[in-house]
């Protein structure tokens, strides 16, 4: 059940309207990482969620995002309003000015219509929570960029509040995911193939002085149980062949010898 309360979650106070900045704000109203997308993604995930505790988390945050939509909409409206009557302001975005009368519509900052294609809803709870953590990180960085592009104190205050809430949500979704007790490599039911999962394919090769420089090493490809395959595209056998050979016990080298790469 939804109920609208006639007050904003954060009071919006704009000193001098800036129509061009108002147009940028639309990115968080009807854009891919905006508040409507967040509200719909979490709420629809919540409807699908069989875990009552995580469902509550999804509905709490999904509903809060609707309140964010209202705040960013009010803020964008204040900045866009002069477009309705002022020719110079209207030139900041003719679509908003002429078609929309200086109001907000569900478009992004480039005038592209909002689409449900923005939403990531898989019906797999841990996978959805990972999507939500990434969505919150994207929303945070968009707010940060917006804050850097305005000098209006009231606008900065509202954006700082909204940006901070995204970090709060990121924290809640991260802890919600951890509470499921799943290993970070455990996705779905079918286990990965043991012969393949720890193979690191060095598919982009180079040396110092090349574009992108020498091949990098780090925890993503060395130590533990990693096995590095250098330039598998130049090996005489296909990956499928070598995987079959490995599973037959014919290949056991921990690290393939480094090969010269044809220029």
Residues at the contact surface with Mn ion, assessed by CB under 5 A? 35, 65, 68, 166, 169
Residue owning tokens 């900052």: 109
Label residue 181 exposed, middle or buried (CB < 10 Å: 0-12, 13-18, 19+): exposed
Structure tokens of 21? 């900045």
SS3 115: coil
Smallest separation, CB 77 to Mn ion (Å): 17
Q: Which is nearer to Mn ion, 102 or 130 (CB)?
A: 130
Smallest separation, CB 260 to Mn ion (Å): 50
Q: Which is nearer to Mn ion, 79 or 169 (CB)?
A: 169
Closest by CA to 116, choosing from 39, 64, 60, 28, is 39
Smallest separation, CB 67 to Mn ion (Å): 8
Q: Which is nearer to Mn ion, 68 or 102 (CB)?
A: 68
Smallest separation, CB 9 to Mn ion (Å): 10
Structure tokens of 4? 């609208």
Q: How many residues does the chain have?
A: 263
Q: Which is nearer to Mn ion, 96 or 172 (CB)?
A: 172
Q: Is 18 left (phi over 0), alpha (psi -120 to 50) or beta?
A: beta
Q: Which is nearer to Mn ion, 59 or 243 (CB)?
A: 59
Smallest separation, CB 139 to Mn ion (Å): 6
CA distance 13 to 75: 8
């Amino acid at each position: 059940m939804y109920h609208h309360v006639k007050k904003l979650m954060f009071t919006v106070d704009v000193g001098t309207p800036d129509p061009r900045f108002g147009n940028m704000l639309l990115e968080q109203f009807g854009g891919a990482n905006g508040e409507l997308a967040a509200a719909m993604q979490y709420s629809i995930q919540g409807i699908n969620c069989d875990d009552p505790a995580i469902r509550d988390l999804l509905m709490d945050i999904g509903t809060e995002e609707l309140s964010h939509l209202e705040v960013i909409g009010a803020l964008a409206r204040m900045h866009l309003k002069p477009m309705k009557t002022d020719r110079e302001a209207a030139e900041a975005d003719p679509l908003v000015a002429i078609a929309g009368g200086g109001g907000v519509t569900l478009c992004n900052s480039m005038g592209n219509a909002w689409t449900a294609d923005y939403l990531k809803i898989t019906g797999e709870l841990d996978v959805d929570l990972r999507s939500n953590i990434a969505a919150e990180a994207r929303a945070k960085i968009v707010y940060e960029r917006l804050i850097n592009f305005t000098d209006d104190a009231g606008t900065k205050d509202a954006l700082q509040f909204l940006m901070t809430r995204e970090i709060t949500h990121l924290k809640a979704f991260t802890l919600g995911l951890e509470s499921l007790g799943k290993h970070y490599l455990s996705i779905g039911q079918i286990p990965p193939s043991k012969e393949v999962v720890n193979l690191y394919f060095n598919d982009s090769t180079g040396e110092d002085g090349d574009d992108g420089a020498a091949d990098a090493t780090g925890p993503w490809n060395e130590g533990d149980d990693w096995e590095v395959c250098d330039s598998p595209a130049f090996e005489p056998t296909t990956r499928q062949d070598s995987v079959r050979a490995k599973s037959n016990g014919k290949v056991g080298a921990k690290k393939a010898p480094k090969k010269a790469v044809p220029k």
